Amino acid sequence: MVTIDSLPNEILVQVVLEVRRGNPSDTDLLHCLLVSRRWHGATVPVLYGNIAFKNLDLNRFLQRPSLPNCADYVRSFTIRVRRSETPMPGATLEQMLDMASILLPALKNLKSFSLTDDMQLDTNLHTDNSRPVSSHVVVALVNALPSSCQSMELDVVPRDRRNSHTGWGTTHHVCDSVRRVLRRMRDVRIRLWWMCPALFGTTRGGAYTPISAPHLKTLVVSPHGFRALLCDSQDPQFMNLRSTWASITSALERFVEAQSQGLGDAKIHAVKIQKSSINSVCKTGVRTDILARKSFLYPLQSTKQDHFMIRQHDERDLVSAIPSIQTMLEGNLWVNTVGGARLPARVLKASTKAEFEFAISCVPQAPEMYTADEWRTQNPEHSTWVWENEAATGLKLLSGKVVEGEGYLNVEPILESTPRGWKRGRHYYASRLERDD
């Protein structure tokens, strides 16, 4: 008699993968576990292959008695800190991340690690649930990554920093830990509040020496927000550069030059969203491609809601929340998958090759992105200044830019133009064009 248990192994594995791809929650897979010992064996690697947690589930997972048994199957580990969620019962966020760092070395086949925090620094920091994680926790996590791990994403706001000049600060320096693992990494995404050239090299006796990272395929470095700062402004090589952006991009240039094997078709992107000027509601999204020595500038404007409009280089406008816009600016190098795992896009694309097979059960999740028409149909009461001004003047007032060669690192923010015969009001009304008669 032919039974479900007479399925050949390859087909059984395909069935389990389809179950996972069809249902990102674990419920259906848990049923597969119970069919038979064979089904159990085929299901466990898929169930634990790409684990992703928000605050509460991480706590539950870490408390599980069966944890050591599934450790070998974990290939990617995603932690998403969600500030809007209720605090974890019995453990602070820091304690939980500390527990995760104790677990990490046991994940001997881990390929990819992601820690992201949706914290908005502009919100107040008075409740326990809105404190940034401290840098010693981030350092503990990075240091605990097993040597098998080739991809890493850190998008966090560590609370403290190093400052050798004043002696104030901490000895837990996130950049030092990142640099140590960068040597073996293939895909890295770093978005930190504080960062410095120690990410890519060491300074001894006044000389900055970039490290070698021969396996690197993609690197995204993004100073967090507008007020991003250097960890240690006393680094003699970089102290004359005023901003984090200038120090980081110039250190990246030197890092790229120092790779003896060359970086081939790797993507090395520095990304920022900068405010244009005091009198402008326009922001500028910048992606600097260090290998191509080119910066791509995109105008952004608030829709007077949570969403922002981004004007692409073909002049089409898209509308989304800042996290999706940030992803787009970065060149979509890291993506969300259904079920919550965050992975390098390169790994997902190649997931049918043996090396990346662990990602085969992951389905990329399309970012929430609207065309201008879609968005305006859904939000007829909202608009952007530039849409209103362009409707009034009948002219295009805002365009993206590409800056190449000399000066590609020092990009000027994009401003909305003021056409002849029109003027801008003062302060808040500087956004609105009026006829100048």
At position 86, the amino acid (one-letter code) is T
Shortest distance (Å) from residue 162 CB to Zn ion: 6
| Per-residue b or e along 184-209, where b marks 16 or more CB atoms closer than 10 Å to that residue's CB | ebbbbbbbbbbbbbbbbbebeeeebe
Which residue, 46 or 231, is less far from Zn ion as judged by CB? 231
Shortest distance (Å) from residue 255 CB to Zn ion: 14
Which residue, 133 or 175, is less far from Zn ion as judged by CB? 175
Rounded to an integer, what distance in angstroms lies between the CA atom of residue 247 and that of residue 388?
38
Which residue, 152 or 196, is less far from Zn ion as judged by CB? 196
Shortest distance (Å) from residue 225 CB to Zn ion: 16
Region of 364 (left: φ > 0; alpha: ψ -120 to 50; beta: rest) is: beta
Rounded to an integer, what distance in angstroms lies between the CA atom of residue 81 and that of residue 156?
9
Rounded to an integer, what distance in angstroms lies between the CA atom of residue 340 and that of residue 80?
8
The answer to whether 183 and 219 have CB atoms below 8 angstroms apart is no
| Per-residue b or e along 278-300, where b marks 16 or more CB atoms closer than 10 Å to that residue's CB | eebbbbbbbbbbbbebebbbbbb
Which residue, 197 or 285, is less far from Zn ion as judged by CB? 197
At position 39, the amino acid (one-letter code) is W
Which residue, 62 or 178, is less far from Zn ion as judged by CB? 178
Which residue, 75 or 162, is less far from Zn ion as judged by CB? 162
Binding site for Zn ion (CB under 5 A): 175, 196, 198, 231
Number of Cβ within a 10 Å radius of residue 423: 12
Shortest distance (Å) from residue 182 CB to Zn ion: 13
Shortest distance (Å) from residue 195 CB to Zn ion: 5
Which residue, 196 or 271, is less far from Zn ion as judged by CB? 196
Shortest distance (Å) from residue 192 CB to Zn ion: 8
Shortest distance (Å) from residue 253 CB to Zn ion: 18
Rounded to an integer, what distance in angstroms lies between the CA atom of residue 77 and that of residue 115?
9
Residue 35 CB partners (closer than 8 Å, separation 6+): 4, 5
